[in-house]
Amino acid sequence: MSTAPALMPAAFLGHGSPMNAIEENRYTAAWRAFGEAVPRPRAVLVVSAHWYTNATAVTVMPQPRTIHDFYGFPQELFDVQYPAPGLPGLVDEVSEAVRPTWVGADGDSWGIDHGTWSVLRHAFPRADVPVVQLSINADQPLSYHFDLGRRLAPLRETGVLVVGSGNVVHNLRGLDPRQPERGFAWAERFDDSARELMTETPEAALDLLGHRDYGYAVPTPDHFIPLLYLAGLAAEAGRGTDVLVDGYSFGSLSMTAYTLDVNCPDGGGSGPAAGMPEGVPAEGTNA
């Protein structure tokens, strides 16, 4: 007999630098509090900014590999393994939920990238919950991703935790190491507008495309798109999201995270989000 909850929560987590995977700060404490607050999922379906490709696909390998999709970082980060199992059969459920959209089955090209494991190793440190990734189809407009998020809603009724991992504001070329916990004015304006829409009218999330600071906040769409999946789920549910944790990193990154249908206690952490190691140029990362 299934013990899946009637309605599984969902979330968008601002993951920032890969170094957050191995550091402790108020953001990682919030991710941990989120993992402790949600009912145990049957699986976690993650839309990560780092699987940005030309198709809509789902990982189907029984034991997905841990991908270290960055360079120039300390060996400690490359040594991290997140050996969560996969759930090959979930692709059929995703396909059914979003049809007639075609969904491919990826058995060998991907795995669990750092946009996923950097947050899940805090939320589910035992790596004992099956993890499946859903790619971001770079050939599709942003409205496609919002709509796909809406259509994933039935999975929440079967114990699947849907998580988006990216950053609302993500401009690596604008990083200012002198401002570890502050945001530029344009970053704060955009983040504030996103908060208003996500908490009050998530069905209007695509209005952010017309925001005057969109070009600075979203120079490339990969880190922004995962937010649209949560916005779609919230729109389908007919209610706004809650802020799990918020703040800025080095002027041009927003670390704001949102949750849907879960009451998370204060994680109790402190300290700024992790930055880039010395010698790693911002424009040379895949963070």
Length of the chain: 287
What radius of gyration, in Å, describes the C-alpha atoms of the chain? 17
User: What is d(CA 228, CA 4) in angstroms, rounded to the nearest whole number?
Assistant: 25
Q: What is the pLDDT of residue 4?
A: 42
Q: Is 19 helix (H, G, I), strand (E, B) or coil?
A: helix
**What is the domain partition of the chain in residue ranges?**
10-284
Q: Is 76 helix (H, G, I), strand (E, B) or coil?
A: helix
Nearest to 131 by CA among 144, 145, 113: 113
pTM of the shown model: 0.94
Q: Which residues of the chain have pLDDT under 70?
A: 1-5, 277-287
Domain with residues 10-284, CATH architecture: 3-Layer(aba) Sandwich (3.40)
Q: Residue 6 has what pLDDT? A: 72
Per-residue confidence (pLDDT) for residue 287, from 0 to 100: 52
Query: On the CB side of 178, how many CA atoms lie within 13 Å of its CA?
Result: 1
Question: Do 135 and 145 form a contact (C-beta atoms < 8 A)?
Answer: no
Identify the pLDDT of residue 280.
58
